[in-house]
Amino acid sequence: MKLINKATGVIVLGALLTVALAGCQSNDATPPATGQNTANEQSKGEGATNAPASESSEEKGTEAIKEGSMEKEGNVVLKELAFVYNEHTIAISDTANEDQMEQMLGKPDNLKSHTYSADDGTNMDTLIGFTEKVYTYPGLEIKTISIPEGKQDSIFHIEITDPKYATVRNIKAGDSLDTLKNAYPEGKLLGDGAPNEEDDFRYEPSNYVDVMSFHIKDAKVESIQIYSLLD
> Reading across the β-sheet that carries 88-91, which strands appear in turn?
88-91, 82-85, 166-167
Looking at residue 142, its pLDDT comes to: 97
Amino acid 131 reads T
Q: What angle do CA 117, 123, 129 make, to 5 degrees?
A: 25
The structure's pTM equals: 0.65
pLDDT digits (tens, 9 = 90+) for 133-155: 999 999 999 999 987 666 789 99
Which range, 11-20, 51-60, 70-79, 99-108, is most confident?
99-108
Closest CA to 83 of 198, 176, 161, 144: 161
User: What's the full length of the chain, in residues?
Assistant: 231
For residues 161 and 64, give the distance between their C-alpha atoms in angstroms, rounded to a whole number.
Answer: 49
Closest CA to 89 of 23, 150, 155: 155
Instruction: Decide if pLDDT at 229 tops 60.
Output: yes
The backbone torsions φ and ψ at residue 96, rounded to the nearest 5 degrees and listed phi first, read -160, 110
Q: At residue 14, what is the residue type?
A: G
- pLDDT at 58 exceeding the cut of 50: no
Torsion sign (Cα): 4, 10, 11, 16: positive
User: DSSP character for 152?
Assistant: P
Give the separation between CA 101 and CA 95, rounded to whole angstroms: 10
Sign of CA dihedral 195, 81, 132, 101: negative
pLDDT at position 36, please?
40
For residues 82-87, give the mean pLDDT: 93
pLDDT average, residue stretch 26-33: 43
Tens digit of pLDDT for each residue in 99-142?
Answer: 999 999 999 999 999 988 988 888 888 888 889 999 999 999 99
Please list, in sequence order, all residues whose beta carbon lies within 8 angstroms of the beta carbon of residue 56, skipping any fewer than 6 positions away. Answer: none
How confident is the model at residue 31, as a pLDDT? 43
Q: Report, as an integer, the average pLDDT of 90-99.
A: 90
